[in-house]
Amino acid sequence: MMIHPEFSPELISIGPLAIRWYALSYIVGFVLFIWLGRRRIDRGGQVFTKEMLD
């Protein structure tokens, strides 16, 4: 029989406000998208501008 780890879905809980693990993955994904997009635009050869990315 496989034993699954039982961990809390909450990363941080401050009173009624709780940040969950999957929310953290959304935030990290969004930040990486913006960072990588700006990096590719700075390299040149892209049809997109920073204003279009924003």
> At residue 1, does pLDDT exceed 70?
no
**Contact, 21 vs 9, CB < 8 A?**
yes
Q: Which of 2, 24, 1 is nearest to 11 (CA)?
A: 24
Please give the model's pTM, rounded to 2 decimal places: 0.67
More confident residue, 37 or 2: 37
> At residue 30, does pLDDT exceed 90?
yes
**Contact, 19 vs 12, CB < 8 A?**
yes
More confident residue, 6 or 29: 29
Considering the chain, what percentage of its residues have pLDDT values greater than 70?
98
Q: What is the mean pLDDT of residues 4-26?
A: 86
In the chain the beta strands, taken as DSSP E runs, fall at 10-14, 17-20
Considering the chain, what percentage of its residues have pLDDT values greater than 90?
33
Q: How do 10-14 and 17-20 pair as beta strands? A: antiparallel
